[in-house]
Amino acid sequence: MLVEELLHSSPLRLITAGPQTPVSEAAQRMAQNNIGLVVVMDDDQVAGVFSERDLVKGFGAAEIVIEEAVVGDLMTKLIITVSPTDSLVDATIAMNANNIRHLVVVQAGRPVGVVSIRDVLRVFAEQLLAVKDDAGGELELDLVKALAVA
């Protein structure tokens, strides 16, 4: 399965914030949309990502006053991306290799969505159910192997 198939089967909402967005506002966006990451955009360019992990690290950092912090203070600047034409297996391997749970999907230099480990597990569960329900169904073994490495 390709990432673009996942994009078409369930819209991977792209929620963004600016580097000067208060951390509390970004956290509210994540909670309201039931997501674990916002893409940080600065002048129409991806500047980083802000995740639940970044939020937790911010709360734990002695030098950060969380009530005054902005997303740019805590965001992860190293962005791991995939393209819509990458396989879901390759996306899973990238998540495992980088110890992350989200990948920004980029097409023509622009973010078009986010793939989460939750999305991967949903596809995997659907495939397992298909195999269970249909003896002729095939399980994407590469996806199983990629998840097993996690």
pLDDT attached to residue 140: 63
Helix then strand count (H, E) for the chain reads 7, 6
Task: Name the 3-class secondary structure at 46.
Answer: strand
CA gap 17, 19 in Å, rounded: 7
Burial class of residue 116 in the structure, from the number of CB atoms within 10 Å of its CB (0-12 exposed, 13-18 middle, 19+ buried): middle
Secondary structure in 3-state letters for 21-33 = CEHHHHHHHHHHH
pLDDT attached to residue 66: 76
Tell me what percent of the residues of the chain surpass a pLDDT of 70.
83
Position of tokens 């097993």? 148
Is 47's pLDDT higher than 70?
yes
Q: What is the mean pLDDT of residues 33-53?
A: 94
Is 134's pLDDT higher than 70?
no
- Whole-model pTM? 0.81
Confidence of residue 139 (pLDDT cuts 50, 70, 90): low
Question: Is there a contact between 15 and 30 (Cβ–Cβ < 8 Å)?
Answer: yes
Confidence of residue 7 (pLDDT cuts 50, 70, 90): confident
Is 48's pLDDT higher than 90?
yes
pLDDT attached to residue 114: 93
Look at domain 3-149 and name its CATH class. alpha beta
The domain ranges of the chain are: 3-149
